[in-house]
A and B are shown apart, each in its own frame.
Chain A
Amino acid sequence: AQSVAQPEDQVNVAEGNPLTVKCTYSVSGNPYLFWYVQYPNRGLQFLLKYITGDNLVKGSYGFEAEFNKSQTSFHLKKPSALVSDSALYFCAVREKEAAGNKLTFGGGTRVLVKP
């Protein structure tokens, strides 16, 4: 079974400050990890993924995430947050060796960036 935990329901940050959204995961084998962002009444927009290779993954809009196998974490980061980054962020996992490709999502973290 695979699962994702996003321990913070909401993260508040001032514009220009660093932003971190936490994610931990559990899978039986090796993980593929994803971050998506959702704006109000919209679908999910892909930000970045970890498949293999470098533990630091760079994605869209200045976001990056660091894969930490020993801590089973995949935290999302942005060095300098913008007001427009205010949205709902979802971490997702699937097991690399699994036949199906279904994603298991965390409960989401709402990010509020204040001017």
Chain B
Amino acid sequence: DTGVSQDPRHKITKRGQNVTFRCDPISEHNRLYWYRQTLGQGPEFLTYFQNEAQLEKSRLLSDRFSAERPKGSFSTLEIQRTEQGDSAMYLCASSLVGGAYTDTQYFGPGTRLTVL
């Protein structure tokens, strides 16, 4: 049973460019979450999916951010027209809910974004 994986681990981009991150959850986990963590802070919720449906989005998720989980497996998070304020660690987590399973969220290693 492999853990949550994220790609890339690090991304450096120039202001105004678009970036896309990928998250592969633990297999058969039906929920997938995206969080953002800035230096010295705890993670903040961005959005989550139940299978392929995006069920909740935080107000932190501006129009420049879009997330997809097209087949209910991996997910992508795209940021358009990046700004320096987007510099952060982007964390993905997955969980299994339903039946006897409670939703412990297991996190990936994160993608650290630096916008110059």
Contacts and interface: CB of A to CB of B under 8 A. Distances in A.
Contacts, number: 61
A43 to B, nearest CB: 4
A7 B95 CA distance: 29
Interface stretch (A12-20, A77-85, A97-105): A97-105
Nearest to A91: B42
Interface residues on B, range: 20 to 34
Given A51-B102, A102-B33, A103-B105, A44 B91 contact: yes
Contacts of B12: none
B72 interface: no
B41 A46 contact: no
Contacts of A103: 33, 35, 43, 45, 105
Contacts of A25: none
Nearest to A101: B103
* Residue from B43, B95, B109 with most neighbouring chain A CB atoms (10 Å): B43
B42 A108 contact: yes
B42 A101 contact: no
B106 A100 contact: no
A100 B42 contact: no
A108 B89 CA distance: 15
Interface string B82-116: 00000000010101010000111111111010000
B42 A107 contact: yes
B107 A36 contact: yes
A101 B107 CA distance: 14
A8 B21 CA distance: 33
A18 B42 CA distance: 24
B105 A101 contact: yes
Given A101-B95, A101-B97, A42 B109 contact: yes
11 contacts: A42-B109, A42-B110, A43-B4, A43-B6, A43-B110, A46-B107, A51-B102, A100-B48, A101-B31, A105-B42, A105-B43
Given A43-B4, A43-B91, A101-B33, 10 more contacts: A32-B102, A45-B107, A100-B55, A100-B56, A102-B56, A105-B43, A107-B41, A108-B40, A108-B41, A108-B42
